[in-house]
Amino acid sequence: MDNVTQIAGLAAPDVRGLRARMTGELVVPGDEGWDAARQAWNLTADQRPVAVAVVADAADVVEVIDFARDAGLRVAPQGTGHAAPAMGPLGDTILLKTHRLRGVTVDPERRVARAEAGAIWIDVVEAAAEHGLAALAGSSPDVGVVGYTLGGGLSWLARKHGIGANQVVAIELVTADGEAKRVDRENDPDLFWALRGGGGSFAVVTAIEFNLFPYEHVYAGILWWPVERAAEILRAWRTWTSMVPDEMTSVGRILQFPPLEFFPEAIRGKSFVVIEAIYSGSPVDGDLWVSPLRDLEPVMDTVQTIPVSELSRLHMDPEEPAAGVGDGTMLSDFRDDAIDALVAASVGAPLLSTEVRHLGGAVARPRAEHGALSHFDDEYLMFTVGMAPTPELAAVVEGAVGRVLAALEPWRAEQTYSNFAESSRPGGSFHSETAYHRLKRIKAAVDPGNVIRANHEL
Ligand SMILES: Cc1cc2nc3c(=O)[nH]c(=O)nc-3n(C[C@H](O)[C@H](O)[C@H](O)COP(=O)(O)OP(=O)(O)OC[C@H]3O[C@@H](n4cnc5c(N)ncnc54)[C@H](O)[C@@H]3O)c2cc1C
């Protein structure tokens, strides 16, 4: 075929036909807007798919999947592109972007939210707060609800209510053979099980329904110390985490702010060790639990009663697309020598944040009704990240991230958490062996042609 009969390597009549059938847009290389269309939230990801389909509704998703399957292409759904760095080359793939589908509705009677595929957490958090309800939202206001939940979902209420995926009540989707349907415990229970923590390999989700919880306020904030006290504070935090109730979820974290204008003056160019503490019980009890940390005399202390919706900004995650290189691992233990190794590898390195999240509580309790990611046995989860605005800096930060991971190798748990893995990992890294084999069987049954493609492939 010559250039007249092809558009970006695809048969021109086929591309024109798909465009005509879609309400949304189909953008191909050479189109004005191509670079904007292929851009992910994480600006380090240089995505070069065959085409980008910006879908406007579930009917568009059916059209794109049917087209891709018939053309021998794959389809990679993407909400925001927060997790784009783990995705490999896209030369045989249509990137299916869902960001136009931002609708959220809340049913206060059932305490259930329905979020369309492109909704981000702040959309849900604010809609739920109007009814005195809270979702199991992540630390960032603009992470996608669907990507987060399919991977698992660790929120600030995790130790009380477990992994977000296990609060899902129904999922609307389009399968690899182009069928739009709604799955739940009674309808397609295997597929429903796989989607709850098994990742994005099974179908394109168009909407998701999940439980909300009656919280209006929490007792939460950050305690700050100079980074020179990192080992001492992290040891004290680790000891404290072995005593706290499920209502307390917390993070021990090293923050190293470059001297850049957009950081507030109080922290610009400075480094800290901090503890982020979120207590979902009464403020009086929260105050009692936090007091041993206050005895360590933090230089700043913002822990107080706050509206639950403010949890979306507690972790200070960037709210606009950003260039970052990061990676994480689950830790089998966070004992003194692991803390020393973490501090030695992180402090002074070109890393903005190195955090350890405390799991356990409800996160560690499996239940028969849970999905593919039932629980985590390991108590601590580490993630480290640095700013990478240029390819040169990205390489430097990648080296620093690698050194933190290498330093923690003796305590690296066998299973890790896909949402905190920003590099490609071998299949089976994220689930128990039994769950992984079941996921593989379900994938073979629902998508034998391997059309649907996730950032982490099974
Ligand atoms: C700043 C920041 C803060 C974070 N905080 C937390 C946190 O507190 N807790 C936590 O658990 N995780 C957290 N994460 C990790 C985050 O949950 C994952 O990166 C997640 O995959 C992002 O989902 P997304 O839809 O925004 O990203 P995307 O890159 O758009 O999607 C990630 C993957 O999800 C799948 N997917 C997305 N949409 C669909 C769909 N419609 N149908 C089928 N599959 C789909 C695809 O496989 C896709 O590759 C954080 C990440 C960042 C960068």
The CB of 221 under 6 Å from ligand 1? The reply is no
- Closest-lying ligand 1 atom to the alpha carbon of residue 205: 42
* pLDDT tens digits, 277-309: 999 999 999 999 999 999 999 999 999 999 999
* Cα–ligand 1 centroid distance for 157 (angstroms): 18
Tell me the pLDDT band of 1, cut-offs 50, 70 and 90. Answer: very low
- Closest-lying ligand 1 atom to the alpha carbon of residue 456: 47
* Cα–ligand 1 centroid distance for 336 (angstroms): 32
Give, for ligand 1, the residue of 57, 168, 419, 453 to mutate: max count of ligand atoms closer than 8 Å to Cβ: 419
* Cα–ligand 1 centroid distance for 4 (angstroms): 39
What pLDDT is attached to residue 249?
98
Tokens representing 35 are 């670079």
* pLDDT tens digits, 145-193: 999 999 999 999 999 999 999 999 999 999 999 999 999 999 999 999 9
Rg over alpha carbons for the chain, rounded to the nearest Å, is 22
Question: Which residues, at least 6 apart from 174, have a Cβ–Cβ distance to it below 8 Å?
Answer: 58, 61, 62, 65, 180, 181, 203, 204, 206
What pLDDT is attached to residue 178?
97
The CB of 383 under 6 Å from ligand 1? The reply is no
Predicted structure pTM score: 0.97
Residue 2 has pLDDT above 50, yes or no: no
Q: Return d(Cα 391, Cα 40) in angstroms, integer.
A: 16
Residue 4 has pLDDT above 70, yes or no: no
The CB of 328 under 6 Å from ligand 1? The reply is no
For residues 160, 163, 169 and 172, what is the CA-based torsion angle, rounded to 10 degrees?
A: 150
Give the orientation angle of helix 336-346 with respect to helix 391-407, to 10 degrees.
160
> Mean pLDDT for the chain?
96
- Closest-lying ligand 1 atom to the alpha carbon of residue 318: 1
* pLDDT tens digits, 362-374: 999 999 999 999 9
Residue 385 has pLDDT above 50, yes or no: yes
* pLDDT tens digits, 5-36: 777 778 878 888 999 999 999 999 999 999 99
